[in-house]
Copies of this chain bind each other. A is one copy, B any other.
């Protein structure tokens, strides 16, 4: 079988730890468990850059070293010295903990007990300045240039200037929201305020939600249950309307950009021009298949120029703001999937393409930054292997690309100010975490730190990575496979498939333990084979790989997952009569697809927070992948799990948080209703007070609940 040959062609290591004495509990393996943090790989120092130098921060002292001689650590600052410095502010810290700002010789120290943030000039060992944060401020956004903080209270927006409050935008109607993230945090949007480079302006989102339907969430922790309305525009419904205001700090006036109609378009990737005269918006139509990069005049609000357009039959999805050069302030780097893969393009502000910096049938998965001279941009790609991530530098003049990391695995690099050195954090299947120092001129790694295997001494399963062909017979898709602890090849084992399978995800990587989850290890300890596969529709494999699911979510993904099942069924130690499946969110949707489209295959399944019917999902994500219910009635019908409720044969447990604001409760409740009508018998559980995911100690309960279900029906 071709598939088999293919698997062994890969050279990934397989962990072979014989069964040991120590046994895991869920507290050890599940985030929120009381011993969970004992099992994350740790190094002695969290090494970072400080200008061009390495610093090694500890709780009591910070050490500094020149990257040429990393072993020659010198004391930079002690806690005692810092507290002496802090005395002039009447502040004191009990433990060193700080963040460098933009890799510059300025460090911010947060003193939460006093709601203070102190800025330290590490070079001169002086206090640069301090700011106050108030508990009630939300979305606080500090501008290091003008040292003011923008923040929101309820739906309104203010600026704190040395303790004085400046009102930027207020509305008594709570449906008008200022200064917060919009479009449900899609399109890379994570915040709602944008300081201009010199701190003279504050750009901010204004969102009018008055026309958007409320999804009624109910908080049962109150004496009598309380309504908590959640503005939740569902696919095909009326959307909110977003505009961008520019607050001028000197004139104290606001100009709203004339972004025009239709008002339900998307204003994404807000980027300031270094000259502060213009601001850029990547504007998407509601259909999400046409993008304009528009430049607006800050003073008049008028559109100055459309730099370029991008369009696609399925969807365009801008995720990265413009990255302007300092030495050529009319040039910027733009990231786009227009070639079918995410690549970097050097543009000027007239919209002229100067150079396509990267190209090829692979994705730039991360753009790390530029050296101070702006000769190179540093990036991460998976061009050598879809599940491994290596660092490169790309010359801005020529686009010439040089590989900087070579060890198999997943690399997370950071460059210093000059870009001549890189700190490289990486892991792979059997490497918990190594931190190397790499010269970007002569890329030969020097080991700075290494993390011990936190699982040493515990009974560990064998984990392997591999690939099979997708249902199209030609595309490689990747899996990890966990064999039961104390594996005996003559036995037949039950299987649990863990599935996610949705866009913006890659669950199989050659990183520590091959991305398996703690619960997978727990189940292997209990005698299960655990398997996971990245079907088509997932990320970092190019646009065609991901968008093949457009207008038919779940169909292709399920077909690919069934190739994984066929592979499992071909394994001599797999009991094909005891296959289960578990997934959350999109993975809950996938679990439902597998249970209901292949009822003869799966004996048990557990779906958490599952999408059941895409018409209950929100506009931004839902319409990107499914269009509207009016535009795509057949697609919505064929992907609606309620229409398949009558197929249910196996044991199927559905779990939902009763305050889920993301995949609203209506999904799983409507599925129960459909099953009741169809006279099928799913099981159900609710985590009251939880949203889309169960976090904290309750996550341990959740996994015990899931485990019991498989133990009841697969064992």
Q: Which residues of A contact B (CB under 8 A)?
A: 213-216, 218, 220-221, 223-227, 232, 234, 237, 615-616, 658, 664-666, 669-670, 672-673, 676-677, 679, 681, 683-689, 698, 700-701, 704-705, 708, 712
Contacts and interface: CB of A to CB of B under 8 A. Distances in A.
B232 A665 contact: no
A227 B224 contact: no
A688 B708 contact: no
A43 to B, nearest CB: 34
B220 A665 contact: yes
B679 A220 contact: no
A223 B616 CA distance: 8
Given A224-B232, A684-B685, A679 B664 contact: no
Nearest to A685: B684
A700 B221 CA distance: 33
Contacts of A616: 224
What are the 4 A-B residue pairs with the smallest beta carbon separation, nearest first? Answer: A216-B227, A673-B688, A669-B688, A220-B666
Q: Is the interface of A mostly helix, strand, loop or mixed?
A: mixed
B698 A676 contact: yes
B701 A220 contact: no
Contacts of A234: 223-224
B666 A225 contact: yes
Contact of A669 (B213, B658, B676, B700): B658
A225 B664 contact: yes
A615 to B, nearest CB: 8
A669 B665 CA distance: 14
Max chain B C-beta neighbours (<10 A), residue from A220, A223, A227, A687: A220
A219 B226 CA distance: 15
B227 A214 contact: yes
Contacts of A708: 681
B673 A689 contact: yes
A223 B218 CA distance: 18
Nearest to A664: B225
Contact of A687 (B221, B666, B672, B679): B672
A255 to B, nearest CB: 35
B216 A670 contact: no
B685 A683 contact: yes
6 contacts: A218-B218, A220-B669, A224-B666, A672-B685, A676-B701, A679-B704
B666 A681 contact: no
Number of copies: 2
Contacts of A669: 220, 658, 686, 688
B216 A218 contact: yes
A310 to B, nearest CB: 32
A218 B659 CA distance: 12
Contacts of A698: 676-677
A216 B226 contact: yes
Contacts of A684: 684-686
Given A218-B665, A681-B705, 7 more contacts: A214-B227, A221-B673, A224-B237, A676-B687, A676-B688, A676-B701, A679-B701
A294 B540 CA distance: 81
B225 A665 contact: yes
A524 B294 CA distance: 75
A227 B679 CA distance: 28
A368 to B, nearest CB: 42
Nearest to A702: B676
A226 B220 CA distance: 17
Contacts of A672: 685-688
Contact of A213 (B224, B676, B679): B224
A276 B7 CA distance: 95
A307 B650 CA distance: 67
Contacts of A673: 220-221, 688-689
A572 B225 CA distance: 48
Contacts of A213: 224
A215 B220 contact: no
A646 to B, nearest CB: 13
Contacts of A658: 669
Contacts of A215: 224-225
Contacts of A224: 213, 215, 232, 234, 237, 616, 666
Contacts of A665: 218, 220, 225
A698 B677 CA distance: 7
A216 B659 CA distance: 13
Contact of A688 (B226, B670, B688): B670
Nearest to A655: B684
A224 to B, nearest CB: 5
Contacts of A666: 220, 224-225
Nearest to A219: B216
A13 B672 CA distance: 44
Max chain B C-beta neighbours (<10 A), residue from A226, A234, A686: A686
Given A673-B689, A688-B673, A708-B681, A227 B227 contact: yes
A322 B704 CA distance: 60
A36 to B, nearest CB: 16
A250 to B, nearest CB: 45
A701 B688 CA distance: 25
Contacts of A214: 227
A689 B698 CA distance: 28
Contacts of A681: 701, 704-705, 708
Contacts of A700: 679
Nearest to A218: B216
